[in-house]
A and B are shown apart, each in its own frame.
Chain A
Amino acid sequence: AQSVTQLGSHVSVSEGALVLLRCNYSSSVPPYLFWYVQYPNQGLQLLLKYTSAATLVKGINGFEAEFKKSETSFHLTKPSAHMRDAAEYFCAVSESGAGSYQLTFGKGTKLSVIP
């Protein structure tokens, strides 16, 4: 079974500072990897995805992530944090089963942005 570990349940950064949210995965086959963002009391919105093409993936709102197979990592970064980036972020890996793609999520990292 595949799994995802997100290091740090809470991360605080100053506005304008670098955002780095860490994600490590385990998988017996080449994975598909995702980052989702969740604002309070809302559903999840896809930020970006890796599906075995370019290892550096650019997403919405200025976020990007790099797939590193040797490190089994897929860390999310943004050069300069905005107040509107404050939310919870989930890393996920997909596995195929019974004709469906099932996402396995990490426990999430809550990002706070300090003005």
Chain B
Amino acid sequence: SQTIHQWPATLVQPVGSPLSLECTVEGTSNPNLYWYRQAAGRGLQLLFYSVGIGQISSEVPQNLSASRPQDRQFILSSKKLLLSDSGFYLCAWSERDGTEAFFGQGTRLTVV
């Protein structure tokens, strides 16, 4: 069966520090991968999605970037965090022709 791993679960980082969140998927090949951010009362915002290695589409211009160095690995990064980057970050995957997404357990990021 397919599983998705996302880490760390919680993170407290100072303003201006770098960020790296990692997500890996097991049990499937060539998945679509997604990064979402969830802010209180604002639902889920799609940040990036990827349909293959090295292929990243950005939905919202911001202080973050994403990379897909391997088929089942998706990384969310920032060179310098802002207070507004605080939130709950969710990684997700779907099959190439799938209709639903499967989510990781999320990372609670607090920028102080």
**A interface residues (Cβ-Cβ under 8 A, vs B):** 9, 32, 34, 36, 41-46, 49, 51, 90, 94, 98-108
How close is A5's CB to chain B, nearest CB, in angstroms?
A: 11
| Chain B hits for A34, CB < 8 A | 100
> Which listed residue (B9, B51, B99, B104) contacts A32, Cβ 8 A?
B99
Query: What B residues does A36 contact at CB under 8 A?
Result: 103
Given A43-B105, A106-B43, does the pair A51, B99 have CB atoms closer than 8 Å? yes
Q: Is the CB of A103 within 8 A of B51?
A: no
B99 touches A101 (CB 8 A): yes
Identify the stretch in B13-21, B62-70, B78-86, B90-98 within 8 Å (CB) of chain A at 4 or more residues.
B90-98
A44 contact set on B, CB distance < 8 A: 44, 90, 92, 103
Q: In the complex, what distance in Å separates the CA atom of A107 from the CA atom of B15?
A: 27
Taken together as a complex, chains A and B put the C-alpha atoms of A24 and B102 apart, in Å, by 22
B98: chain A residues within 8 A (beta carbon): 101
**B104 A99 Cβ-Cβ under 8 A:** no
Q: Which of A9, A43, A100, A108 contacts B94 (CB 8 A)?
A: A100
Contact of B108 among A9, A41, A99, A106 (CB under 8 A): A41
- What range describes how many residues of B lie at the interface? 20 to 34
Q: Is the CB of A107 within 8 A of B43?
A: yes
9 additional A-B pairs beyond A101-B32, A103-B100, beta carbons within 8 Å, are A42-B105, A43-B90, A43-B104, A44-B92, A49-B99, A99-B51, A100-B32, A102-B46, A108-B43
Interface residues of B (CB under 8 A from A): 6, 9, 32, 34, 41-44, 46, 49, 51, 57, 88, 90, 92, 94, 96, 98-106, 108
Mind listing 30 A-B residue pairs with CB under 8 Å?
A32-B100, A34-B100, A41-B9, A41-B106, A42-B106, A43-B104, A43-B105, A43-B106, A44-B44, A44-B103, A49-B99, A49-B100, A94-B99, A94-B100, A98-B51, A98-B57, A99-B32, A99-B51, A100-B49, A101-B32, A101-B94, A101-B99, A102-B46, A102-B49, A103-B34, A103-B100, A103-B101, A105-B43, A107-B42, A107-B43
